[in-house]
Amino acid sequence: MHRDEVVVPTQIGDAVHGMLTCHAAPLVAGSLRAKGRTTRLAEMPRSDDSSGDFDAKLFLVTCSQQDGTTAAIAAAAAPGDALSAAAARGAVEDWAAVSGARTLLLASSPWCSGAMHAAGAARQAASEYRGTGRKVLVLAPVAIPPETASALDELGAVITDSLAQVDPGDVVVFPAHGVTAEMRAEATRRGATVVDATCPLVAAAQTAASRSADRGQQLVLIGQPGQASTAAITSQAPRHVAVVDTATKTAALRAADSRQISYLMQPGATLEAGAPIVSALRSRYPTARGAAPSEVCYAPSDRAGTIYSVALGSELMLVLGDPQSADTKQVCGHARDAGTRVQVIAEVADLKPAMFASVDTIGLAESTSAGAGLAAQVITALSGLGRLSVARRKLNTEKTPVPV
C-alpha cells in the first residue's frame, strides 16, 4: 500500500476467527474521507500479512453479528506513515465506541400501490415494444422508483415530462398521478399508443371533477397546488375548481350559488390535513358534499402514521433522501412530530459515529428521492457495528364491506 492513504478492509483474514466481513467499511471510509484522507476499500487476505501490497499497520476490533458470526471494524496505513496511521486508528476507535446490539425499525416503502402498478405497467410496455422500432415514452415529471428508472433505461424507454418527442405509432405511458385533459388529447392527436397507468383513485377524482363541472357546481379540491395530480384533476373542470390547502383559505372562496358547492380530497393528501379544511368549508357552506365520498386515498395517511409510529419508537430517525426534496422534508416533519431526533442521509458516508452514541433503537424511512439501494446499503453498514435486529412496521387501512 502507499503512503498518505488508508486502506479500509471489506474483508480481512484473522488467525482466530478466519475470514471476517467488514460491513462497516463504508462508515469507516466515510469518516476518513470527511477528514481529507485518501481512502481505498480492499480485501485484506490476512491481518498479519506483512508482505506484498498489504505491508501495513493495522487497527482492528471485532463485534458479534446477529447470525452469531464475527465482523471486523478495521483500517490500515503504511508503516512509517504516522499521519495516516493516526487517522486510521481514530476512525476505527470512533466507530468501535458506538458498536453494540441495536434494533432497527423500518418504515414501509414510500411508493404506494398506485405508483408501483404504474411502474410495472411502464416496464411491461418497455419490454413488450423493445426492438420494434417504436419509442416508449414514460411521462414522469415527478419521482419514480429508482429501480424502475434503471430498468426503463436498460430497456431503452425514455422518461420525459412532455410529448414533444412523440411520433405516430410511439407508445406513451401515462403515470399514476394522471395527465391533463390537454395532454391526453395531444397524445391522441400525435397518433400515440397510450398505456394509461393512472391510479384508479386519481381517475375517479378526475371523473368526479368533470361530473361536477357538468352539473354547474363549484368544486373545492382539498390538497396542495403543487401535488402531482393537481393539474390532472383541475383540467377536467376548467373554471370550476378552486384548490385549497388550509382551512383559512376557505374564507376566500366565492360561489354564485352556495348550494352548488362540492369538495374532493386530492389523492396524495392526508386525511388528517384535509379534515379541518372540510370542517371550515361545511361551516361556511352547510350543504357542501363530497364529490366522490367513497373514493378515498388512505395511502398518504398510512405512510404518515407509519413514519410517526416508527419515530415514536426510536431514539434516532434516519430519513434517506435528498435534503432539498419536498418529500424528504415532509417525511422529516412526520418524524419530528413524534419528538424524535432526525438525521437526513443522502449517502452512507453521511452517517457519523456521534449520531449513534447512547442510541439503542434506530428508525429508518425512505423519501421518494432516496437513491437506488441506499436503504440496503445503510442497513448492511449498520449491521457491521454489532448485532442488529431489524423489524418492519406498516400502518395499513383496509376497506371492509358493510354487512347487510
pLDDT at residue 55, as a whole number:
61
Instruction: Tell me the three cell numbers of residue 18.
Output: 478466519
User: Is the pLDDT reported for residue 54 higher than 70?
Assistant: no
Pick the CATH number of 105-109+299-393 from 3.30.70.1090, 3.40.1010.20, 3.40.50.300, 3.30.365.10: 3.40.1010.20
Taking Cα atoms as reference points, which of 280, 300, 296, 276 lies closest to residue 288? 280
Q: Return d(Cα 10, Cα 24) in angstroms, integer.
A: 8
pLDDT at 104: 98
Domain spans of the chain, in order of start: 5-97, 105-109+299-393, 113-200, 212-290
Whether the domain at 113-200 and the domain at 212-290 fall into the same CATH topology: no
Average pLDDT over residues 298-318: 97
Region 249-267: what's the mean pLDDT? 90
CA–CA separation, 54 vs 355, rounded Å? 32
Q: Is the dihedral of CA 253, 259, 264, 269 positive or negative?
A: positive
At 398, the pLDDT band (50, 70, 90 cuts) reads confident
**pLDDT computed for residue 1 by the predictor:** 66
- Across 213-218, average pLDDT: 90
Grid cell for residue 154: 436498460
Q: Return the CATH number of the domain spanning residue range 212-290.
A: 3.40.1010.20
- Cut 0.85: pTM above it: yes
262/208 Cα distance (integer angstroms): 10
For residue 102, CA distances in Å to 77, 78, 153, 259, 366 come to: 30, 34, 38, 58, 19
Taking alpha carbons only, the member of 105, 167, 107, 111 closest to residue 135 is 167
Residues 6+ apart with CB under 8 A from 195: 121, 122, 125, 171, 172, 173, 174
Q: What is the pLDDT of residues 111-125, one digit of tens each?
A: 999 999 999 999 999
Alpha helices in 269-345 (DSSP H): 271-284, 299-312, 326-336
Q: What is the mean pLDDT of residues 274-284?
A: 94
Confidence (pLDDT) at 53: 52
| d(C-alpha 199, C-alpha 178), whole Å | 7
Average pLDDT, integer, range 247-255 = 91
**CA dist., res. 346 & res. 322, Å (int):** 5
Q: Above 60 in pLDDT, residue 328?
A: yes
What pLDDT was estimated at residue 233? 94
Q: Which range (43-52, 246-255, 310-319, 358-367) has the least confidence?
A: 43-52
Contacts of 377 (CB under 8 A, 6+ apart): 26, 348
Question: How high is the mean pLDDT of the chain?
Answer: 92
For domain 113-200, give the fold: Rossmann fold (3.40.50)
